[in-house]
Structure 1
Amino acid sequence: MNSHLPFLISVPHGGIDAIESVRSRLLLSDQDLIWYSDPLTRIIFRFENRVAAYIDTPVSRMIVDLNRPPLPVPLQDPDGIIKTKTFDNRDIYRPGEVPDLHLIHKMVLSHYFPYHQKIDEYLDPSLIQIAFDCHSMLPTGSVNQIDAGKPRPLICLGNNGDCQGDEREGTLATCSTEWIHLLAECFREEFPSEDAVTLNKPFSGGFISNAHFWRRGIPWIQIEVNRILYEPDPASPGSGTTIEERAILLRERIWSVLCLFFQRIQE
């Protein structure tokens, strides 16, 4: 344990599986479940043998979204824990096949609350110095999103602050400005292209980082990596490497960033 970095890594949207009890109800194909997830983030951020704590899920966010608050009651929010619409407004379930409250209750008890309970158990301040909630994002904003049609950076770091990483009025930042700037500097050294790294734009952090920071006070940063870093470009010929191989290469680049960040916060 002492040889591991004192980090918690959470990967809540990397799953691509459907729960058997709802599979036949879905309008989405298996390929859709992959596309609407954060594909391959369970490879990209899989540092379970290198950090103090690691957690992910095999279940698709289209089935149970772990990064949403438990209220309002499911189905009142079409983009909540149990979704009825994708982020580009496609129906998820067949007409008349949306889960009822009894099934929703089972889904939430089996997958949602255990994930958050495990995070809470992991957040021991004697072992965890900072936690990271890890995601991927499409290269441009999708329909109905705040940045629809706009190109996104290679890396977005979120601490529930403003675009400078400072606390916004009426909210708590989940990590200090100093630390999120340090992490941004480390990412910029690894990804030196212009405007490669942004803070809190387009994503400032979701329920996981905010809720568990409020509960335990251990700093959190949400990391979003652009899928362009590992998914093939349809307009370009193949590079001879598989998407899984590119994901593994990206993992090692991100690991070098996290190691450098840890080194610098110790200085």
Structure 2
Amino acid sequence: MNGRYPFLVSIPHGGTVVPPELRGLINLTRKEIVFNSDPHTRCIYGFDDRVEALVDFDVSRVFVDTNRAPYDYPPRAQDGVVKVITQDGTPVFKNGQTPDRELIGTLLQNYYHPFHKRLAGVLDTRPIGVAFDCHSMLPRSPPVRMDAGRPRPLFCLSNRGDRNGRPKRPGGLVTCPPEWLQALARSFQAEFDGEGRVAMNDPFRGGFISVAHYRQRRVPWVQVEINRGLYETEEREADEADLAELRERIFSALTGFWDVVSG
């Protein structure tokens, strides 16, 4: 034993880099790029050498979203692997400058596929007991979603199942056992008792990363979403000390869960 927990931590949306292939095409300010990424998730989930592996991504999810299928791109999709609009409906690219299929192919080759190969490599070579795909979410559903304005829970834990973590239909896919997701929810609820609701598969059921890599290697995956309202508001920016404390509490919830299900 190396003293590390057998976790793979994926942080796909923490980067804010603009790919050089897209410079001159973009309609967004730096502030808009950061807001539409998952700011601070690299700090919040940065468990470093306490876990078996951590894989993150430098490029902003606005330009290359590794949690979308590689064939999900414009004009077929506005919120796919390359975004056309932001969460509030702002066009990502200047008029007439949306990347064509060739440029999207270059972005996939240079950034998207290497990220997924890193995840696959870890799963093939390291003793991973469970993988966590780690994100942040806005306190309320944004204007582009069908449930616009709906308040969100403190945490959302997802395995593609129903709101109890069970398959939505008999024999349906879930990316980790329902009992595991329920145990994880209890661990988070205990750690953040009285601060808000810990939900399962609501409002998110898990994205491409957890489903694709679970199907290929059958290592359990959970998508974790934290409400940004826990650490920042429109009036108050995130504080490094608060983020560090939050990181320790989340790690405590994850390890408490693992000590239960692996015992």
Would the TM-score normalized by the shorter structure come out above 0.5?
A: yes
CA distance in 1, matches of 2:239, 2:176: 32
* Counterpart for residue 107 of structure 2: 107
- Any stretches of 5+ residues in structure 1 without a counterpart? none
CA distance in 1, matches of 2:65, 2:75: 12
1:251 is the counterpart of 2:247: yes
* Counterpart for residue 260 of structure 2: 264
* Counterpart for residue 24 of structure 2: 24
- State TM-score, norm by structure 2: 0.94
CA distance in 2, matches of 1:134, 1:242: 18
Q: Give 3-state SS (helix, strand or coil) of 2:87's partner.
A: coil
Q: Give 3-state SS (helix, strand or coil) of 1:205's partner.
A: coil
Question: How much has 1:248 moved relative to structure 2?
Answer: 1.6
| Partners of 1:75 and 1:82 within 8 A in 2 | no
Question: How much has 1:147 moved relative to structure 2?
Answer: 2.7
- Which segment is superposed worse, 159-168 or 187-196? 187-196
Q: Give 3-state SS (helix, strand or coil) of 1:124's partner.
A: helix
Query: In 2 relative to 1, CA 103–126 (structure 1 residues): closer, same or farther, beyond 3 Å?
Result: closer
* Counterpart for residue 205 of structure 1: 206
CA-based RMSD = 1.8
| Partners of 1:125 and 1:218 within 8 A in 2 | no
Q: For residues 224-264 of structure 1, what are the alpha-carbon distances to aligned partners after superposition, in whole Å with 9 as ceiling and x for unaligned?
A: 00001111452xxx6xx952332222111101111111111
Aligned positions, number: 262
* Counterpart for residue 190 of structure 2: 189
Query: In 2 relative to 1, CA 93–47 (structure 1 residues): closer, same or farther, beyond 3 Å?
Result: same
Amino acid paired to 1:248: A
1:110-259 aligned within 5 A: 110-124=110-124, 127-169=127-169, 171-193=172-194, 195-232=196-233, 234=235, 243-259=239-255
Amino acid paired to 1:252: E
Amino acid paired to 1:82: V
CA distance in 2, matches of 1:2, 1:61: 33
* Counterpart for residue 48 of structure 1: 48
- Which segment is superposed worse, 115-124 or 130-139? 115-124
Query: In 2 relative to 1, CA 105–199 (structure 1 residues): closer, same or farther, beyond 3 Å?
Result: same
Query: In 2 relative to 1, CA 71–171 (structure 1 residues): closer, same or farther, beyond 3 Å?
Result: farther
Query: In 2 relative to 1, CA 74–256 (structure 1 residues): closer, same or farther, beyond 3 Å?
Result: same
Question: How much has 1:195 moved relative to structure 2?
Answer: 5.0
Amino acid paired to 1:231: E
1:89 is the counterpart of 2:89: yes
CA distance in 1, matches of 2:200, 2:22: 37
Q: Give 3-state SS (helix, strand or coil) of 2:255's partner.
A: helix
Amino acid paired to 1:58: D
Which 4+ residue blocks in structure 1 deviate beyond 4 angstroms?
A: none
CA distance in 2, matches of 1:256, 1:62: 31
Question: How much has 1:103 moved relative to structure 2?
Answer: 2.1
Amino acid paired to 1:25: L
CA distance in 2, matches of 1:167, 1:45: 27
Query: In 2 relative to 1, CA 195–247 (structure 1 residues): closer, same or farther, beyond 3 Å?
Result: closer
Aligned-pair identity (%): 43
CA distance in 2, matches of 1:105, 1:75: 14
Q: Give 3-state SS (helix, strand or coil) of 2:10's partner.
A: strand
CA distance in 1, matches of 2:242, 2:31: 19
| Partners of 1:62 and 1:86 within 8 A in 2 | yes
| Partners of 1:147 and 1:202 within 8 A in 2 | no
| Partners of 2:41 and 2:136 within 8 A in 1 | yes
Query: In 2 relative to 1, CA 193–23 (structure 1 residues): closer, same or farther, beyond 3 Å?
Result: farther
